[in-house]
Structure 1
Amino acid sequence: MGLLGILVALCGLIWFAYRGWSVLLLAPAAALIAAAFASEPLLAHWTVTFMAGAARFIAQFFPIFLLGALFGKLMDDSGSVMAIAHFMAEKLGARRAILSVVLAGAFVTYGGVSLFVAFFVLAPMAQELFRASGTPRRLAPASIALGTSTFTMSALPGTPAIQNAIPMPFFGTTAFAAPGLGLVAALIMLGFGMCWLIWAERAARRRGEGYGDAPTATVDVTADQPIRERAATAREFDLAEIPHGHRADAPNIFIAALPLIVVVGVNLVMSLGVLPRMDDSFLAEERWGPTTLAAVSGVWSVIVALAAAIVTVIALNWRRLTKIRESVDAGVTASALPLLSVASLVGFGAVVAAMPAFAAVRTWALSIEGGPLVSLAIATNVLASLTGSASGGLTIALDTLGETYLRLAEQGGIDPALLHRVAVIGAGTLDSLPHNGAVVTLLAVCGCTHKESYLDIVMVAIVSAILALVAVIVLGSAFGSF
């Protein structure tokens, strides 16, 4: 009955979440269903097990959600994201419309700007370039997805994406874990994705297909509650805050790009230079709890990098940010719903892991042939696809099995950095299924439908990521982490 209860709870959570019901209520309700089937104490699991799991996630990652959303909003309102997009369009031109969109999206998201902020800038840019070049409009969502939701989220070393931060406390790693393997994975994702998009464009031209009709969608995705609820579990920015604040005229490209460079540069210096040399003896004091520098240094590096970038963007754009209080309010508010939504999913996972029947699930996961790397990749894939959230699925997997995978890795001589990279790339594959909030939002912003554009999204966001994941597992198994 316990295993049946877990399945019923998970199916109920998925069914209602995909129809726009709030995960804030669905997650504890599903957790109680699982506990009820197992004849476990309901209130204890809600107020102790569920809340402890959710609170642990918030305690670990609230600063990154907060500063990441604020930085993205300030970059948008300062006109910096628009300036970078226009710079790419001018330099590459309409003849390279797809490449322009991909690189613009990659640059801003690798620098720490939320992909939802990027969507609202890149979508009109893509439509303008595609119309001028005669490129089918239906390829715009896939082009944006390739640049914003693949290698800059899970593969490039140092990316401040929350997905890349989640494994750090579990494995004692940094955002630059397995940099060589990350670069290999990024090149595979970018290379395969671009090859697919170029082939699709050329095939369309041979058929005489042009830009197509103008977008007909009129849905305001920033106000559409079901889309907002789905998006809240997908990424770390609340769509409702996009229109708030005031977007200034675009600055020059140097001013626009410098804060993004600061994010990556400060993160690198903190991760590889400052924190490893810091005297961490104070962490042994009882007031800091049972923690080590390895468990917190990765998160600290990202926090300092985002804080430095926020100061930089404000200092460079002080006169442009004419309504800075509104921008700041919107940015920090934008972090609340995604943080609580993902934390609720993590709380649900904590209750499921506490069920006696979960031992069978753990045994099955660890018995998968291929060793801990393959098992970890499958676990993160499955959970990300079921929850529609790379961050939620990844955290549930590591919360329930992270210590076991780390122990197996130590026994097998596997570098925790390799576990980190496999886990992040694994969570960024099947999370892009049709119900994913980022996919739904992207299609709505571009005025496209699943029928028109989803196949191309599958190829650039799922197939490319799976190929990169396989390559990382094979290379990591043969040569170790590098």
Structure 2
Amino acid sequence: MVCAIEGVMIMVGLLGLFAGLALLIWLALRGVNIIFASVICSVVIIATNALPLADSLNQSYAFGDLGAFTFAGRFFLLFAAGAIFGRIMGESHAATSIAMALVRSLGAHRALWITVLSCALLTYGGVVVFVVIFAMYPLGLRLLKEADIPKRLFCGALALGAGTFTLTALPGTPSIHNVIPTLKLGTDLFAAPLLGVFGGAVMFILGMIYLERERVKAKAAGEGFVAGPLDTIPDLQSIEKDLPHPALALTPLLLVIGTILAPRLLSLSGAGGDIALVQFANSQSILWPSIALLFASLVALILFPAVRRQSLQVLGNGTQDAIMPLMATSAVIGFGGVVAKTAGFYEFTQAIVAADMPPLLSMFTASSIVSGITGSSSGGLQIFMATLADSYVAMGIDPQELHRLSAMASGGFDSLPHCGAVIAMLTITGLTHKEAYKDVGVVTVIVPVVATLLTVGLAMLT
């Protein structure tokens, strides 16, 4: 009788777990605020798994190791620094200057290439993804009209440039996805650089092949650009009048990467081993990238008159820009913290770890699925690092490889239709899942998964 009751409780818990996940996806697809949705779905899982209500909400969801506010407190400065930097690059027109330089080099008909490369430069330099989308959208509309390219492909280009290889694959980026593994594994932002460059190159090449193929197909089918009812299309000539020189516009981005890279180069050369600042930088995987972004922001304020005159307001607005992305990500992680306390999640993780497959493939599967469950690469990666990373290190996976490959794996199934970043991008561009998700899904799910599997294969061969 006791065993039967326990079996029923386990079954109810599993059903509740799936119900909570399905409800989160359903609410996200309908545009319900992700913070509210995460709380409701957490309560469903708590109730069906007989978890203690107070402890689950106060600790597992809010303040535990995987709590929403624990994450928010730990990463607030990095989010704020990235958003401030993005706001300055946007309002100073430096981001537009970089894009316009690409227009002059490649031609407006290469709108998709320009969008991908511009977004990649900005996100690799530390600009928050949401800010990049806002900064690129007006100029992108003009380029799309010039080249007569459908808006759905612009969404794909935005997603490829801002949300794939520069966030999870390329070494050195100050993205949160590259920072999270350093806290658990003791690695730095340049972990497994060759694997990262290989994986990033595969993502870029496959993504551009797909987008260009779709552009040609759209042209042959007579599908072109159609502006939305709220779209305002700027004039390219009027934009160019007040832009800073492209070299000046690139300076803050180069400064971010250079500041992050300098301590590592000094350490490798042996010249900086005894310098206190170098030791500090190498030991602060969150604070040092934040300092690099803030330092570049101050330099940008000096360089660009458009923001210099209202510097305090721009800094304040940039800080405000960080709040919603930070809280949305934190809420998903809080939901994952509740999920991680269920018996079903424990059984799932144990089954994957014990599965008869190579450790790197097992790791890829675990990181991918957890990120898919949460609809967040950063949330899934945080949960993976907290619950599974030690098991894979114990299997003999090199921490450098685990850092890079788990980060890349987290950036695949996270972009399923309930992903908050996908929903935000479609909202900004005025498109629906039906209109644009196929292209976004190919470049943010299929392409990263293929690239990561190829990189895993390369790591297994070397």
> Do residues 215 (structure 1) and 262 (structure 2) align?
no
Q: CA deviation at 1:441?
A: 3.2
2:79, 2:128 within 8 Å by CA — same for their partners in 1? no
Who is 2:57 aligned against?
A: 46
4+ runs of 1 displaced by more than 6 Å? 292-295
Bigger Cα displacement from structure 2, 38-47 vs 459-468: 38-47
> Do residues 428 (structure 1) and 417 (structure 2) align?
no
Give the AA of the match of 1:255: L
Matches within 5 A, 1:349-364: 349-364=336-351
**Distance in 2, Cα, partners of 1:60 & 1:272:** 27
2:336, 2:374 within 8 Å by CA — same for their partners in 1? no
Bigger Cα displacement from structure 2, 162-171 vs 436-445: 436-445
Cα-Cα RMSD: 2.8
Q: Tell me the matched-pair count.
A: 436
> Do residues 255 (structure 1) and 267 (structure 2) align?
no
Who is 1:315 aligned against?
A: 302
Match of 2:146 among 120, 123, 132: 132
Q: 1:82 to 1:356 in 2, by over 3 A?
A: same
> Do residues 374 (structure 1) and 387 (structure 2) align?
no
**Distance in 1, Cα, partners of 2:151 & 2:300:** 33
**Distance in 2, Cα, partners of 1:10 & 1:319:** 46
Give the AA of the match of 2:20: A
**Distance in 1, Cα, partners of 2:300 & 2:183:** 29
Who is 2:5 aligned against?
A: none
Give the AA of the match of 2:86: G
Q: 1:138 to 1:56 in 2, by over 3 A?
A: closer
Who is 2:6 aligned against?
A: none
**Distance in 2, Cα, partners of 1:445 & 1:35:** 34
Q: CA deviation at 1:166?
A: 1.4
The one-character-per-residue Cα deviations of 1:290-316 (angstroms, maximum 9, x if unpaired) are xx9899532233123212212221121
Match of 2:107 among 93, 96, 120: 93
**Distance in 1, Cα, partners of 2:419 & 2:299:** 33
Q: 1:159 to 1:77 in 2, by over 3 A?
A: same
Q: CA deviation at 1:343?
A: 2.3
SS in 2 for 1:467: helix
Q: 1:35 to 1:143 in 2, by over 3 A?
A: closer
Give the AA of the match of 2:60: T
2:77, 2:287 within 8 Å by CA — same for their partners in 1? no
SS in 2 for 1:441: helix
Who is 2:90 aligned against?
A: 76
Who is 1:450 aligned against?
A: 433
> Do residues 473 (structure 1) and 456 (structure 2) align?
yes
Q: 1:178 to 1:217 in 2, by over 3 A?
A: farther
1:153, 1:163 within 8 Å by CA — same for their partners in 2? yes
Give the AA of the match of 1:73: R
Bigger Cα displacement from structure 2, 315-324 vs 103-112: 315-324
Who is 1:144 aligned against?
A: 158
SS in 2 for 1:379: helix
Q: 1:40 to 1:293 in 2, by over 3 A?
A: farther
Who is 2:286 aligned against?
A: 299
**Distance in 2, Cα, partners of 1:124 & 1:171:** 41
**Distance in 1, Cα, partners of 2:220 & 2:414:** 33
> Do residues 155 (structure 1) and 155 (structure 2) align?
no
Q: CA deviation at 1:182?
A: 0.8
Q: CA deviation at 1:318?
A: 4.7
Give the AA of the match of 2:313: E
SS in 2 for 1:158: coil
The one-character-per-residue Cα deviations of 1:207-245 (angstroms, maximum 9, x if unpaired) are 4x2534x3224399xxxxxxxxxxxxxxxxxxxxxxxxx
SS in 1 for 2:224: coil
Who is 2:258 aligned against?
A: 265
SS in 2 for 1:125: helix
Q: CA deviation at 1:319?
A: 5.5
Who is 2:447 aligned against?
A: 464
Q: 1:273 to 1:300 in 2, by over 3 A?
A: farther
Match of 1:195 among 209, 219, 228: 209
Who is 1:418 aligned against?
A: 401
**Distance in 1, Cα, partners of 2:341 & 2:118:** 44
Q: 1:135 to 1:267 in 2, by over 3 A?
A: same
SS in 2 for 1:112: coil
TM-score by length of 1: 0.82
Q: 1:431 to 1:219 in 2, by over 3 A?
A: farther
Match of 2:327 among 306, 328, 340: 340
1:266, 1:305 within 8 Å by CA — same for their partners in 2? yes
1:169, 1:296 within 8 Å by CA — same for their partners in 2? no
Who is 2:237 aligned against?
A: none
**Distance in 2, Cα, partners of 1:381 & 1:172:** 22
Who is 2:352 aligned against?
A: 365
Q: CA deviation at 1:260?
A: 0.4
Q: 1:401 to 1:254 in 2, by over 3 A?
A: same
